[in-house]
Structure 1
Amino acid sequence: MALEDGKEPGITIRLIQNRPLPLRLLQFFLLFLVLGLGVSIISMYTFRYFGIQNVTGVGRSNIFLPCFEAPNDLENWIRPPSNLLHKMNDTELFWRASFVPRIKEYPYRRVPKIAFMFLTKGPLPLAPLWERFFKGHEGLYSIYVHSLPSYAGNYTPSSVFYKRQIPSQVVEWGRMSMCDAERRLLANALLDISNEWFILVSEACIPLHNFSIIYRYISRSRYSFMGSFDEDGPYGRGRYNWNMQPEVTLAQWRKGSQWFEVNRRLAVNIIEDTTYYPKFRDFCQPACYVDEHYFPTMLSIQAPRLLANRTLTWTDWSRGGAHPATFGKADITEQFFKKMFEGQSCTYNNQPTTVCYLFARKFAPSALDPLLSLASKVFGF
């Protein structure tokens, strides 16, 4: 009995102690599982909310500037940039400017404008003449100025040239950097969807007619005004490099004036080009002056039926040499311009006309005062 009494309590104790153990383990395991699952869910949502935002913020490009924020209504799309001094490089700028609507009809009343693109080293000495030309025609034009990066214009807020400088780079005459500057002007002007026609002028250019005549002439033309000629001799075909093939053949090689007017479609063609640009950059170097050949050749290949094959800018090459004649104070007379106008003969929309040039160059700063005196009588503004 003592032995039995000694065994029975021991067995009873072991049974009482061993029964609750699996239940506690199960409860502990379930509690751990629930807590782990809860922590995992909370962590997942926390990462998705905070983590992805942080990653996106780090990878954001400088191209998304305040004036180019993602549009949330039509007004943001059609409003021109309020500040021309953006931080985009050329690659980003050309990509942004190449956006083209696929639907031709505009869902709002669009007033097409002329973009006047001034390619200059520094100041615009003939600015007062242009100020008078533009006066009273707000909403029908835009102005863009490409100067040396070191130059900062000191125009007053009332001037049409106030804050119209675009981000620029150094330009070398006769080099591809000249065409880069022209493409940069076109790309910045394309950011304003209302700009329909694009005219390249220099600081030595003047308008030969009032704004209304020029606007009507350009807006009603079926063609863009860029010279594109197949010229024999050392200054035409003689500049061709056989390394241009197969993109550009000798038969396709063209020459034309640097000073052009193109419509929006051709402007986009110019800034989006990656086929012809490398060929002209690498194989058209002085004495091949790329600004006389790149655009005329490329556009005559891509859209020959859209070109009038002439320039709108009168220039006097009669004195010979690599540069045209420059006219100063003593040259500016009524007779001088009468002779210029009387000698004009060309076609406009396939019809003969005596109004061929809308602009002229090169005029020295000393010509400003007599030009202002004659502007009303000779130019009509």
Structure 2
Amino acid sequence: MISEKSKIFNEVLVDAKHALDSIGIPFHLHSGTALGAHREHDFIQHDDDIDLAVFYEDVNDKSSVDDIIKSMENNGFDLEAKLGKLNRGFELKFTHNIQAVSLDIFWVYPGRYRGKDYYILSSYYGECDNLKHKMCVWAYRPYDTVKIKFLGHTYNVLPKMTLVDAYGKDWKIPKKFNYYEGLEEGYKSLIRDYFKPVPVDNKIAFCFLLYDSVVHGKQWYDFFKQDKFPIKSYSVYSHVKTITNKTQEWIRENHIRAIKTGWCEENLVWAWINLLKQALKDPNNKYFVLLSGECIPLFGFWDTYKEITASKKSRINIDLNSEATIETGLAYADQWILLNRKHAELLVELKTTEKGKEFVKNIRKLIGDFCPDELYPVNWFMENYGKSSFASFKREFNVMPTTYTYWDGKHTSPIRYTSPRMRKDKGKICSSGALFARKFNKKAGIELSGKCDKRKSPRRLSRRSRS
């Protein structure tokens, strides 16, 4: 019995087949799609896209590429990205405009690796952004495709020999991993000596403000583990209110001297500033993220790194229509913010300069019952950059969320996601522009952490971050 997902994927594949056949472009099923055709005689149920490939010797001129794009668009696809160069590492990424299924077309090139002939293919995103030429390179023994009857149609498909190259001799045994997890350890054909270190002088400081531990500690541990380079491109700092046996070892190793803090107290601002002061001691830290102990990363490490470092601006999520703004006349913003080095140094001045101390003295009279950590930083930045106009403020800051939180308007605290609610809202969370999200129970956090796929919306996040 064919599943509903397989019906949808099959419809998308047939549309692509018609688009390519109609203009005489030979193609074959590749990667996970080829694996499913051989092993399951079906689409792999946890796979989230369709993989096709063409040989460079068959499609090597711009007019043929233009014909492919036009024919695909005429058959229900939108072009999402054109990656690499036609003579090296080319890839077209499409999305079916009815079924919203991603489909990739890879170019396969003849090449040599370690003195032997191979077919070479490239892919992008994730850890690939930090490799030579910003792409992953895959090597397969030269192959001839085989014809397979697959869900009612005949296709050219990778031979079983190539599945051994790609997935190992045990390729017939199902293993569940996504593209990013496969980059880490699942793919056998990835040329792993192609790696090169990222610049050490462009590090991100992850600053955790904690009660006693990181709630989703394993998810964060796995997130940081994706940076395999000897010289890391990140730093971790933590302010832990109470160290207990729940406090993770990697948090203990990086915690600063704690001060007494409480919910909605001014000391939360000073704890954050103390974290910044410590992180600023490393001149290679260029970005500083304030994180809650209850948040999770939405994307893989390298997508997060790329998104943060792509913009020189800081991020702050201002709500000019908030209750706090209406009652006090002050700007209100999420306390979970992302700062560049210049703005991190400026925020520290709130505590260390006479101007900053005078600002704090004055704002204390205005905030009423509202929380200082949601008012002090943003209004200090407005004091320095936004006095003339909000437009001048936006020249320094991207006004967008760093951490996604769901408020229903009925409660004074954010809603904690369960798995069913998270699955329902996953699309909204992943497309919110945020890089992190908070308030998930254990199961929901495991299911969502790192599972948002930047490849499915390659333009949305990048465009917003560069505004």
Q: Judging by fraction of residues, say which structure has more helix.
A: 1
SS in 1 for 2:204: strand
Corresponding position: 1:325 with 2:415:
yes
Residue by residue, what CA displacement relative to the aligned partner does 1:117-158 show, whole Å, maximum 9, x if unpaired? 1111112120100111111315111111111145466534xx
Matched positions, count: 241
1:161-172 matched pairs, under 5 angstroms: 161-172=251-262
Give deviations 1:33-81, integer Å, cap 9, x for gaps.
xxxxxxxxxxxxxxxxxxxxxxxxxxxxxxxxxxxxxxxxxxxxxxxxx
Q: How does 1:83-122 map to 2 (within 5 A)?
A: 110-122=200-212
Cα displacement string for residues 222-243 of structure 1 (whole angstroms, at most 9, x for unaligned residues): 32101234336x4214124xxx
1:314/1:292 Cα in 2 relative to 1: closer, same or farther (>3 Å)? Answer: same
Q: 1:238 aligns with which of 327, 352, 359?
A: 327
Give the Cα–Cα distance (whole angstroms) in 2 for the partners of residues 280 and 202 of structure 1: 28
Q: Where does structure 2 lack aligned partners over 5 or more consecutive residues?
A: 1-198, 386-392, 456-467
Moved over 4 A (4+): 149-154, 375-380
CA positional deviation for 1:341: 3.0
Secondary structure of 1:266 counterpart: helix
The structure 2 residue matched to 1:140, chosen from 233, 239, 244, is 233
In the alignment, which residue of structure 1 is the partner of 2:307? 217
Instruction: Give the superposition deviation at 1:203.
Output: 1.2
CA RMSD of aligned residues (A): 2.6
Matching of residue 260 in structure 1 with residue 337 in structure 2: yes
Question: In structure 1, how many angstroms separate the alpha carbons of the residues matched to 2:275 and 2:376?
Answer: 16
Does the Cα contact within 8 Å between 1:204 and 1:364 map onto a contact in 2? Answer: no
Shift of 1:311: 2.0
Report SS of the residue matched to 1:146.
strand
Aligned partners of 1:162 and 1:178: how far apart in 2? 19
Bigger Rg, which one: 1
Mapped to 1, the partners of 2:435 and 2:263 lie a distance apart of: 24
Q: Which has the higher strand share?
A: 2
**Corresponding position of 1:126:** 216
> Which residue does 2:378 correspond to in 1?
296
How many Å separate the matches in 1 of 2:368 and 2:278? 28
The match for 1:207 among 280, 285, 297 is 297
> Which one-letter code corresponds to 1:293 in the other structure?
L
Superposed displacement of residue 315, structure 1: 1.1
Partner SS state of residue 207, structure 2: strand
Q: What's the CA shift for 1:210?
A: 0.9
Q: Would you say the 8 A contact 1:119–1:145 is kept in 2? A: yes
Q: What is the TM-score of this pair, normalised by structure 2?
A: 0.47
1:308-351 Cα offsets, whole Å, 9 max, x none, are 12222111112432211111345443x43124335x4xxxxxxx
Aligned partner of 1:348 in structure 2 is none
Secondary structure of the residue that 1:212 maps to in structure 2?
Answer: helix
1:341 corresponds to which of 400, 419, 430: 430
Q: CA, structure 1 residues 377+116, in 2 after alignment: closer, same or farther (shift >3 Å)?
A: closer
User: Does the 8 A contact of 2:296 with 2:445 survive in 1?
Assistant: no
Q: How high is the TM-score relative to the length of structure 1?
A: 0.57
C-alpha separation in 1, matches of 2:429 and 2:315:
19
Provide the secondary structure at the position in 1 that maps to 2:291.
strand
1:162 CA drift (Å): 4.8
Structure 1: stretches of 5+ with no match in the other structure: 1-108, 241-252, 345-355
